Chain A
Amino acid sequence: MKSIIKQLVETPGPSGFEHEIRDVIRDAVADSADEVRVDALGSLIARKGTKTEEGLRVMISAHIDEIGLMVTHVDENGFLRFTNIGGINPLTCYGGRVLFMDGTRGVIGMDSIERGKTPKLTDLFIDVGATDKDNCPVGVGDVCGFERPFLDLGKRMVAKSMDDRIAAAIAIEVLKRLESTPHEIHFVFSTQEEVGLRGATTAAYGVDPDLGFAIDVTRSGDTPRFSPKMATALGDGPAIKVRDSSFIADPRLVKWMIKTAEESGIPYQLEVLEAGGTDGRAIQLTRGGAPAGCVSIACRYIHSPSEMVDSDDVENAVELLVKLLSEPIILD
């Protein structure tokens, strides 16, 4: 799986600009999906299976966008001011390298600010090596993402955009390993999650699922002096979401996931995320409503250019999802 993970995390795709990453995913699911389509907001929807009498129409959402930057102004000397696409922390920007959708590269510099002060986004600029406004290769409205190579630390893996390409990798792998299913499963590789679950909102309307869940990363409370308190830890297994600040997972889904994990001897942990939202909300609130949940991967340093996850959690998540989707779903 590591080679597809590397390919996924190294492909740029800030929210709204997911065309390149979508092409990578289209190739990756081509052999295992029964049907692939793309909706108006650019989400790729891969269907597997047809609904049998004991099956449901299931939506699984993994978002393929990542946080990024958009140029707001090119100054006389060719420096670029920018705004955030999704939750960017100015602390992790300075000195970072960025890659524009047209291949232009740049670095992030900073105005002189008072020593000890935290920079604001408006204190930062991108330098693409231009010497003035006229020879600057990018302009207002152009988009870039952070550029960092995939780092394989053995059990642990580090990359920009582990949020949420690790979920895309998991969904691709589940699609491959799923031999038979009574369900009609729509694997949604959703867009614009980082700016407000937008892709999953329209995809859920289009799929009209009986039930669904998101796959996403969640915070990991196992680093030094971590606050607020969070029970999740890298390596403790896929996290079954109980709630986050965007939705409360359907308790029947939580129970079903726990039961399946325990019966199959797959390690799991429970997740309560106090700040953060996922595509699960979009699924739950679509049309007349649908039971929804989320399977999470604990992740350190979320929304920094170095997000870390555990390989065993990823493998266990794949196994859990294959089990969940191979049998009829009984909610009680």
Chain B
Amino acid sequence: MTKNSELTANKGFDIGEQQIELLEKLCNATAVSGDEHEVRQIVLAEIKSFADEIEVDALGNVLAKRFGSGENRVRVMLAAHMDEIGFMIVKKHDDNLFQFERVGGIDERQLPGKAVLVGRDHLAGVIGAKPIHMTTADERMKKIPVDALRIDLGPEIGDKVKPGDRATFATRFKLHGPSILAKALDDRFGVSMLIELLKHPPANIDLLTAFTVQEEVGLRGARVAAYKFNPDMAIAVDSTPAYDLPHWDEEDENVQYNTHLDAGPAIYVMDRATIADRRLVNLFTRAAEAEGIPYQYRQPGGGGTDAGVIHKTRAGIPSISVSVPSRYAHSAIGLARIEDWENTLRLLHAALSRVTPDLLAGERRG
């Protein structure tokens, strides 16, 4: 592992106070799929003096370009999604108890007893749970369906909450030694890195950044963003689960971890939605090795990123994904390492700096 203090190669790509402050702001904002307003405002404010062109498209994606200099620049799309998983209020009941639905993939077993923030005013509420005093042994063995749960907002809210309002887990961003604890690291990590790259772009390429919407409900924003950009190649920048906890049974090696914390950026070879173009897998691998940046291949298999729709756009776009590993994804709180985030940003810059027209001149071979 390379230590933070040794990172001097890429000036401007250290994670410092400024970057952490921005990530905190991004993670604490509410942007459940379909209502990405808060994060979009933060993004627009951050990039307005750096991007050459900025547009908010029909679905709410922020599309920002920064042009390089020199001849034959490859047009590279980077996508990071602004939206996060969360809840939508569907019905008001007596006593300001609200029925809700999940938006995106959330395990319903994790809901009872969690604090939430509802609507753009971030009204404090709680997903109620029956006290253990009142439950039977039998009840405690069963999961509670979402239909039977309510968000309790109390008498203070008046008519402020309506069906259609979004809610998120109320988790606030925290640093703890080398770790970050926050909600929505999926994909505020990606959003933060795209902002950094717009501020310090590699000069050899045209950087086409898409801060996308509605990824968690089916990669919807990225589809139209890729159509509009029509890039030469694309990289989805995301966060992926690390299921790297030790096994208690020592005989049994953990073979399904997806990724490990502290092992650097996760380079995708294949997920359910995309088979990465090997030319790009090699680009990232070689860049990591040349710069001494730790990296890991994400275990091929399930999951999907914005690359899943981008690579199928128009006549086809060579694509790959790169993610920051994070534990406890899609729960109330994720845990990740500052160093993995920093190394992902460094790797992105290192790989982008090595993009030349030759990279894509030949045929895809794997």
Residue ranges of A at the interface with B (Cβ–Cβ < 8 Å): 15-17, 19, 22, 38-42, 70-73, 75-76, 81, 83, 85, 101, 122, 139-141, 143, 192, 195, 198, 201-203, 205-206
Contact = CB atoms under 8 A, between A and B. Distances in A.
B316 A39 contact: yes
B364 A41 contact: yes
B181 interface: no
Majority SS at the chain B contact face = loop
Interface string B271-300: 000010000010000000000000001011
Contacts of B269: 70, 140-141
Contacts of A198: 311-312
Contacts of B139: none
B281 A141 contact: yes
Given A39-B315, A40-B317, A101-B366, A75 B253 contact: yes
Interface range, B side? 20 to 34
A287 B243 CA distance: 41
A116 B300 CA distance: 29
Contacts of A203: 315-316
Interface in B308-366: 311-318, 363-366
B301 A83 contact: yes
B256 interface: yes
B157 interface: no
A232 to B, nearest CB: 30
A201 B312 CA distance: 7
B315 A206 contact: yes
Contacts of B312: 41, 198, 201-202
Contacts of B245: none
B363 A141 contact: no
Given A75-B255, A83-B300, A205 B314 contact: yes
A71 B363 CA distance: 24
B338 to A, nearest CB: 25
B207 interface: no
Contact of A19 (B256, B317, B318, B365): B365
B270 interface: yes
A72 B299 CA distance: 5
Given A141-B297, A141-B300, A70 B270 contact: yes
Closest 3 CB pairs of A and B: A16-B275, A40-B316, A202-B316
A92 to B, nearest CB: 20
B249 to A, nearest CB: 14
Nearest to A26: B363
A143 B366 contact: yes
Contact of B301 (A41, A72, A202): A72
A85 B311 CA distance: 17
24 contacts: A15-B275, A16-B366, A38-B364, A40-B317, A40-B318, A40-B364, A41-B311, A71-B300, A72-B299, A73-B255, A81-B255, A83-B299, A101-B366, A141-B269, A141-B270, A141-B300, A143-B366, A195-B275, A201-B312, A202-B312, A202-B314, A206-B314, A206-B315, A206-B316
Given A19-B366, A41-B364, A42-B363, A140 B314 contact: no
A40 B364 CA distance: 7
A1 to B, nearest CB: 27
A72 B311 contact: no
A83 B222 CA distance: 27
Nearest to A202: B316
Contacts of B363: 19, 22, 38, 42
Pick from B270, B281, B314, B318 the residue with the most CB of A within 10 Å: B270
Contacts of A71: 300
A38 B277 CA distance: 14
A212 to B, nearest CB: 15
Nearest to A72: B299
A162 B269 CA distance: 26
Nearest to A74: B255
A39 to B, nearest CB: 5
B255 A202 contact: no
Contacts of A205: 314-316
A290 to B, nearest CB: 15
B297 A19 contact: no
Given A42-B363, A139-B297, 5 more contacts: A71-B300, A72-B256, A101-B366, A140-B300, A141-B300
A70 B312 CA distance: 21
Nearest to A65: B275
Given A38-B363, A75-B253, A83-B301, A16 B315 contact: no
Contacts of B317: 40
A72 B366 contact: no
Contact of A41 (B299, B316, B365): B316
Contacts of B301: 72, 83
Contacts of B315: 39-40, 202-203, 205-206
B246 to A, nearest CB: 15
Nearest to A125: B255
B229 to A, nearest CB: 14
B270 A85 contact: yes
Contacts of A201: 312
Interface in B91-119: none
Contacts of A39: 315-316
Interface string B135-179: 000000000000000000000000000000000000000000000
A202 B297 CA distance: 27
A42 B318 CA distance: 10
A303 B158 CA distance: 60
B187 to A, nearest CB: 23
